Amino acid sequence: MGDLFDVADVSAARGTLRKMGIVPGEGDAPAHYTLRAGEHRLALNVHLGAGVRLTHTGQIHCLHCGRATRKSFAQGYCYPCFKSLAQCDTCIVKPETCHYYQGTCREPTWGEQHCFQPHVVYLANSSGLKVGITRKTQLPTRWLDQGAIQALPIIEVDNRLQSGMVETLFKEAVGDRTNWRAMLKDDVAPLDLVAERDRLLASLAPGLAALRQRFGETAIRTLALDPVSLRYPVLEAPRKVVSHNFDKTAEVSGRLMGLKGQYLILDTGVINLRKFGGYEVEVAIE
């Protein structure tokens, strides 16, 4: 939290949106949220209950190269970067199709730095039970980005390809998507993630054994960890989820009722700020 600063006159704050920074709270405290607009960092928890206004200036800039673009691709990139960057390739969403492994990686050096490091396969509860993967260094950020209220790492592997193959196996028995409306309504019952882990590991044991035979016994490691509980700063969850969209309405305003996942929860509706990465906005807290 030490690198955050509140702008002196928030009505003058203007910059390109990036996904919100989220830091888990200590103990029972909720996560700390930071809005990032260009060089500005605005701590949001202290403004719960206040009026918020975000105005899209009409400008969109690529988060990678900075060039102006009429349309944002993959949550913040211009079309040339979307087509050339490894981080925008389809294997990021489907790591079991790893292009480095096939010899067709767009940026082999990037792949070596980001894909060839330990990854974790986890169970989470954001709108019900789901399976997911992430780099080990991205925990618990990945769970907070998804609005999970519970999470449990279950398997650690050596690289992203292996994590995708393990996840594909688990998807035979459990989904990998979040119902974002249910997540925001906070209409999610707690789960016994340890019992779910043990059930899935038992039913998928033959498939895991086959993967270990392929990659080596120590490449796919079962974890014995405790579940993690995650809390969010929410004054009131929406009863009906109405979504704001800068592509349809330049100005989004309302009373800040909460923060969950990458969403601002306003009394007028919700907005997923990650979806609008690269959009230049003016920010006002009233």
Tens digit of each residue's pLDDT (9 = 90 or more) over 136-155: 999 999 999 999 999 999 99
Q: Are residues 199 and 253 in the same domain?
A: no
Q: Is residue 205 part of a domain?
A: yes
Mean pLDDT of the chain: 94
Q: Is residue 96 part of a domain?
A: no
User: Beta strand 129-135 with 269-272: parallel, antiparallel or unpaired?
Assistant: unpaired
pLDDT greater than 50 at residue 14: yes
**Res 25: pLDDT:** 94
Q: Are residues 221 and 165 in the same domain?
A: yes
- Give how many domains the chain has, as a whole number: 2
**Position 111 confidence tier, pLDDT thresholds 50, 70, 90:** very high
Average pLDDT (108-127) is: 96
Tokens of 109: 């050096």
**Res 13: pLDDT:** 79
**Res 190: pLDDT:** 96
Among 229, 248, 272, residue at a domain's last position: 229
**Whole-model pTM?**
0.93
Tokens of 95: 């790591």
Buried/exposed code over 130-139 (b: 16+ C-beta within 10 A; e: otherwise):
bbbbbbeeeb
Tell me which residue of 233, 183, 269, 230 sits closest to 43, measured CA to CA: 233
Which H or E run contains 258? strand 251-260
pLDDT greater than 50 at residue 4: no
Q: Is residue 178 part of a domain?
A: yes
Q: Are residues 218 and 251 in the same domain?
A: no
Q: Are residues 133 and 198 in the same domain?
A: yes
Q: By residue range, what is the domain housing residue 70?
A: 10-75+233-285
pLDDT greater than 90 at residue 10: no
pLDDT in tens, 209-241: 999 999 999 999 999 999 999 999 999 999 999
Task: Say which DSSP state 13 is in.
Answer: E
pLDDT greater than 50 at residue 258: yes
**Position 8 confidence tier, pLDDT thresholds 50, 70, 90:** very low
Q: Is residue 17 part of a domain?
A: yes
